[in-house]
Amino acid sequence: MSNPLDTDAGSELFTSYEAELKLVQADLNQKLDQISELAGEPRKSAVRLSERALEEAKELLDQMRLEKASIPSSARSKINQRFRNYESDIDAAKRRLKSSSDDRQNQFENRYSDNPTTDDQLEQRQQLLSGTDRLDRSSQRLRESQRIAYETENIGRDTLADLQVQRETIQHTRMTMLESEGYVHLAIVDVVSAPNKSTGTLIEV
C-alpha cells in the first residue's frame, strides 16, 4: 500500500487530492472484495460501482500528476515515490476488476451447466421469454404482411372485374349506336325515296 501522508513534502492541494484518493481507494477495495461474494444483478451492480470508483481514482491521479509538477524539486522526490505507489495500487485494482469481469463473462458463457444456480436459471428464463417475445412479434408481422397481400390481391381482382364490365358496357354502347345509325340511315332513305306527289319523280339519294 501507499506510504502515509507526508504533509511536510508537497503542496496543500496535492495533499488534499492524496487524502481524497485514499478514501476512494478504500471504497474501491471494499467493492472489489464484495464482487467475489455476489452473483446475478447484485454482482453486476457491484462491478459498475467499482468501475465508477476506479474512474474517480484515475481522475484524482491525473490531478495529482499536474499538481506535483509545480512542487519544488527539493521536495518532489518523496512526492514522486508516493505517487508511484498510488499508481501501482490503482493498477492492481484495475487488474482485480478486470479479473472479476472476466469471471462474470465465464459464468455467462457457462450458464447452461448441468447444475445451474438460481440466478442462472432466472437468466435462462428471461432469455427464453425474450426469444419467445421476438418470435411472437415476427409471427405477427408475417400475419400482417399476409393480410395486406391478400387484401391487395382482392383489390386487384375487383379492379380487373370492374374494368371488364366497363369494357363490355362500352362495346355494348358502341354496337347500340351503330345499330341506331343504321336505323336512321334507312329511315332517311325511305323518306327521300318516296314518290314526289307533286312531280311523280323519285329523288335519288
What cell numbers appear for 85 in the block? Answer: 505507489
Percentages (nearest 5) of helix, strand, coil residues in the chain: 80, 0, 20
The model carries a pTM of 0.47
Residue 52 is predicted with a pLDDT of 94
Report if residue 152 sits inside a domain. Answer: no
What's the confidence (pLDDT) of residue 2? 46
Distances (CA, A) of 184 to 178, 179, 181: 10, 9, 5
d(CA 187, CA 191): 6
Instruction: Give the model's pLDDT for residue 6.
Output: 45
* Residue 170 in domain: no
Cell readout for 152 is 391487395
Tell me if 87 is assigned to some domain.
Answer: yes
pLDDT of residue 4: 44
Tell me which residues of the chain have a pLDDT lower than 50. 1-9, 106, 108-114, 197-198, 202-203, 205
Res 195: pLDDT: 56
Residue 27 lies in a domain: yes
- CATH number of the domain residue 56 falls in: 1.20.58.400
Question: Is 91 part of any domain?
Answer: yes
Is 168 a member of any domain? no
Task: Transcribe 98-122 into DSSP letters.
Answer: HHHHHHHHHHHHTTT-SS--HHHHH
Overall number of domains in the chain? 1
Task: Give 104-127 pLDDT, tens digit per residue.
Answer: 554 544 444 445 556 566 767 777
Which pLDDT score, from 0 to 100, does residue 7 have? 45
Return d(Cα 189, Cα 186) in angstroms, integer.
Answer: 5
Q: Is residue 103 part of a domain?
A: yes
| Domain extent at residue 64 | 12-109
Calculate the alpha carbon distances from 90 to 17, 86, 148 in Å: 15, 6, 61
Q: Are 93 and 32 in contact (CB under 8 A)?
A: yes
Q: What is the pLDDT of residue 205?
A: 46
96 lies in some domain? yes
Structural contact between residues 79 and 9, judged by C-beta atoms closer than 8 angstroms: yes
